[in-house]
Amino acid sequence: MRTCTRAGVGRRAVGDTMLGCGRCRRCRGGHQHTCEAREEVGIRGGRAGALAERLAVPVSSLHELPPGLSPELGALAEPGGNAIRAARAAVGARSGAPGERSGARVLVLGPGTIGLLTALFARAAGAEVHLAGTTPWSLEFARSLGFPATAEGPAPPFDAVVDATNDPAAPARALELVEPAGRLVCIGLAGSPSPVDSRSLVFKDVTAVGILSASPGLAGAIGAYTRGEVDPRPLVAATVGLDGVAAVLAGERPPGALAGPKILVDPRPG
């Protein structure tokens, strides 16, 4: 959905959360998510969040959802857009077609929502994916999805290591674990600087990639969900109404929640 016409009224769409100015060099080059003057839905530039009664965004930021795609999958398009970019960076996929580097051995640090989605997309691309984490319940859930997952992580070699944690030491650990000529992908953000020795990057001839935003990956995630290549629905533990949002934001798990890490909000009455 890219043109503002009456025909678009009432159709379901996912909106990009990164809204560039549309005029600068970065925006004109298709990288509006790195625009210095960008606004971010619910975060930056005074933009209301998605739980607001009304939310105005440029029509150019909308991606129409196919008729057969459930609202639940639509809600997971934004985290999926981040994750598919991380997976493509890890397995070397540039075209978006799965399997460009089929058989790559990938380690994902951090089995949270983004880490698990990255693992799902990387596996769909033909990679052998392992996860490492710190909490027993998250590791158990990762194993329930068919991934080898341990606190220590398996032994190298790894063609790519993805840091999907908030641990400031994780990028350096990822660089230590990745094979020479491999790929280091950083999608997690720590609350303090994450030092990395650039000499290791050079001596190991490693390609380091930073992932900011789902913007370039939204269409790919929607397509993968629609084609059934990746099914993120097991990650959803529960769906709550607006009256349950405060408790969830306070860290409470809804009654009857499943084991997944993601809680969705359905703002519709009843």
Q: Measured between alpha carbons, how far is 145 from 168 in angstroms, rounded to an integer?
A: 27
The torsion angles phi and psi of 180, rounded to 5 degrees, stand at -55, 140
Same domain, 181 and 146: yes
Tell me what pLDDT residue 152 has. Answer: 86
- The answer to the question of residue 175 being in a domain is yes
Tell me what pLDDT residue 52 has. Answer: 87
Same domain, 209 and 106: yes
Tell me what pLDDT residue 250 has. Answer: 95
Q: Quick one: pLDDT band at residue 1, thresholds 50, 70, 90? A: very low
Asked if the model's pLDDT at residue 220 lies above 80, the reply is: yes
Residue for token digits 């909308």?
62
**Helix or strand holding residue 219 (H, E):** helix 218-227
- Domain encompassing residue 161: 97-214
More confident residue, 248 or 267: 248
- The answer to the question of residue 146 being in a domain is yes
State percent of the chain over pLDDT 90.
81
- The answer to the question of residue 230 being in a domain is no
Same domain, 151 and 189: yes
Residue for token digits 């405060």?
246
Same domain, 107 and 177: yes
Tell me what pLDDT residue 8 has. Answer: 67
State percent of the chain over pLDDT 70.
93
With DSSP H G I counted as helix, E B as strand and the rest as coil, what are the percentages for the chain, rounded to 5? 35, 15, 50
DSSP 1-53: --S--GGGTT--EEE-SEE--SSSHHHHTT-GGG-TT-EETTTBTT---TTSS
Q: What predicted TM-score, i.e. pTM, was given to this entire model?
A: 0.92
Same domain, 105 and 202: yes
**Half-sphere exposure (CA, 13 Å, Cβ side) for 25?**
0
The torsion angles phi and psi of 105, rounded to 5 degrees, stand at -100, 115
Domain with residue 205: its CATH number is 3.40.50.720
- pLDDT tens across 73-125, in order? 999 999 999 999 999 999 975 434 444 445 899 999 999 999 999 999 999 99
Tell me what pLDDT residue 50 has. Answer: 84
Is residue 232 within 8 Å of residue 120, measured between CB atoms? Answer: yes
Asked if the model's pLDDT at residue 259 lies above 50, the reply is: yes
- pLDDT tens across 23-78, in order? 999 999 999 999 999 999 999 998 998 888 888 888 989 999 999 899 999 999 99
Mean pLDDT (the chain) is 92
Q: What is the pLDDT averaged over residues 233-262?
A: 95
Tell me what pLDDT residue 267 has. Answer: 87
- Check the CA dihedral 238-244-250-253 and report its sign: negative
- SS3 (DSSP) at 159: coil
Domain count, the chain: 2
Using a 10 angstrom Cβ sphere, with 0-12 exposed, 13-18 middle and 19 or more buried, the burial of residue 265 is: middle
Same domain, 201 and 239: no
- The answer to the question of residue 180 being in a domain is yes
